[in-house]
Structure 1
Amino acid sequence: MDQESRHSVSVAGVIVDDQGRALLIQRRDNGHWEAPGGVLELNEDIISGLRREIREETGLDVEPELLTGVYKNMKRGIIALVFRCRATGGSLTVTNESQDFRWLAADEVRTLSVQAFAVRVLDALNSDGKPSIREHDGIRVIGD
């Protein structure tokens, strides 16, 4: 298998507070507003990777509650597993991977994030227990 035919797997956590708002971070590398997450390491299990990525980007410890979506970036070959989570500890802080954070209601998410990343948060906030499966081009959802 050549390098161009490979995929990478990432995880993201939509942390929801008691008011039903989702935590978004502003990434330092590109300035985009997204749910915290990142690429799984080769020998890392999914939940440990999710917890590590969220801790690195927010300072929070979380408990995943539900897999809410599977998303594929068709241009870059990245498969993302997105979980709705609740914070269980730690302290929310900016880190070397995030420069800001906000707790947002669904309508605010739509205005702050590009569609491909907003839909992950919206799917998590509105999940009926069945994960959404979507493809996108890095900016827009394809086929919706």
Structure 2
Amino acid sequence: MDRQNTHSVSVAGVIIDDHGRALLTQRRDNGHWEAPGGVLERDEDIITGLVREVREETGLHVEPIALTGVYKNMARGIVALVFRCKVTDGQLTETDETRAFRWVTADEVRALASEAFAVRVLDAMRDNQMPAVRQHDGVHLIGAQLYV
């Protein structure tokens, strides 16, 4: 297998509250604000991985409502699947991976997160039936940005 041509797949859950705000987590390793998520393990299915990653980073149990976007980090070969989610159980708990939480509006998302990560949350906050398909360089969006 040619490692140079392999990809990893990550998942993220954008949790929306009753006021239309999204939950952002602040990462311990770099201080960035993002939706909770991470890389799928090789032997787990997408939904199991999504639920596991969100629980590990927030203490919340979630149920995915809709796939809201597919994003590729062109520099690192990471494909991210982002889902709008609702909380079914649990309570916010700081973890080894997260040091803070904030419920934010769309404007606050733009102010806190880099473009490549803010767009994932903003896409999930929209009530659009079609998932976005986008690519980025790890910080900024690049190329044509589509809804399919």
TM-score range, shorter chain: over 0.9
Partner of 2:49: 49
For 1:4, the aligned partner's letter is Q
**1:15-70 CA distances to partner (integer Å, 9 max, x unpaired)?**
00000000000011111100000000000000000000000000000010000000
For 2:141, the aligned partner's letter is V
Matches within 5 A, 1:111-126: 111-126=111-126
Instruction: Work out the percentage of aligned pairs sharing the same amino acid.
Output: 69
Partner of 1:32: 32
Matches within 5 A, 1:103-118: 103-118=103-118
RMSD: 0.7
For 2:81, the aligned partner's letter is L
TM-score by structure 1 length? 0.98
Distance in 1 of aligned mates of 2:109 and 2:93 = 20
Distance in 1 of aligned mates of 2:129 and 2:36 = 21
Unaligned 5+ runs, structure 2: none
Matches within 5 A, 1:2-41: 2-41=2-41
**1:95-124 CA distances to partner (integer Å, 9 max, x unpaired)?**
111000100000000000000000000000
Partner of 1:85: 85
2:42 paired with 1:63: no
Partner of 2:139: 139
Partner of 1:102: 102
For 1:113, the aligned partner's letter is A
Distance in 1 of aligned mates of 2:53 and 2:29 = 15
TM-score by structure 2 length? 0.95
Distance in 2 of aligned mates of 1:94 and 1:38 = 16
Does the CA-based 8 Å contact 1:68-1:127 persist in structure 2? no
* Alignment length (residue pairs): 144
Runs of 4+ more than 2 Å apart: none
